Amino acid sequence: MTPSRRVPARLIAWLAALLPLVAGHGAYLLSASQDLVPWCIPHLEGCTSVSRAAREGSANLLFKALMLPYSVMVAWFWWLAARWLREALPGHVRTVRLLFPFGLVVALATGLYTAALGADGESYQWLRRYGINLSFAFTVLAELLVTAAVARDERVPRALRRAMVGTCLALLLLGLASIPLQYFAGTRHPALNAIEWTYAVLMLAFYPLVGAAWRRTAPPPTARAPA
């Protein structure tokens, strides 16, 4: 694309949500159809983890083909979010300063996790394990910062603010619920898998909420596409 062609920032928010959603669920459907993982509703039954569903064969290829672009898209998204907050809510200086660095951590951690998924060796296992943990943690931290910034802004509809707060509360509760399972369950507990799937969906659903807040507070910035 030429520099004169611009992409609406809200579109970046939707792409940042949809790319990983399609990657994870598409990988699961491919793996289940090839009998690599059981058929179930993973968000409720937890028959497999996201990583296990995307570890082999065509599922792994699909996952990487979508998640590697996402690792770039998510840094772009949080850069736009910081720029938007600086212009629309100039009083939140600390939040503006933190959002893009947090986004870079998410992007790097996601890229490392995706690249390591399916590879053998202890170092790859370490990259996969800590990559996904860092990605999830810093995404939620960034979402909490944005929610705190817009929580009292009357330009954002109350229902939208409540949706953002409710999403963050649900993520915090799910994170707390996963702690005893991680440290006290002898094997990978199905409940932990179900929490992981649900957590990822809620975390990604937050991105379009930010896009909606952009639209309500001020004309959002446009993302210049690379030449």
The pLDDT tens digits of the residues spanning 84-139 come to: 888 888 888 888 899 999 999 999 999 999 988 887 777 777 777 788 889 999 99
Say if 1 falls within a structural domain.
no
Say if 167 falls within a structural domain.
yes
Q: Exposure of 70 by Cβ count < 10 A (0-12 exposed, 13-18 middle, 19+ buried)?
A: buried
Domain count for the chain: 1
- Tell me: pLDDT of 220 over 60: no
Give this prediction's pTM.
Answer: 0.86
Q: Quick one: what percent of the chain has pLDDT higher than 90?
A: 62
The domain of 37 spans 8-220
List the one residue out of 129, 125, 209, 196 whose CA is nearest residue 167: 209
Radius of gyration for the alpha carbons in the chain, expressed in angstroms and rounded: 18
Say if 95 falls within a structural domain.
yes
Would you state the pLDDT for residue 187?
A: 59
Say if 160 falls within a structural domain.
yes
Say if 187 falls within a structural domain.
yes
Say if 226 falls within a structural domain.
no
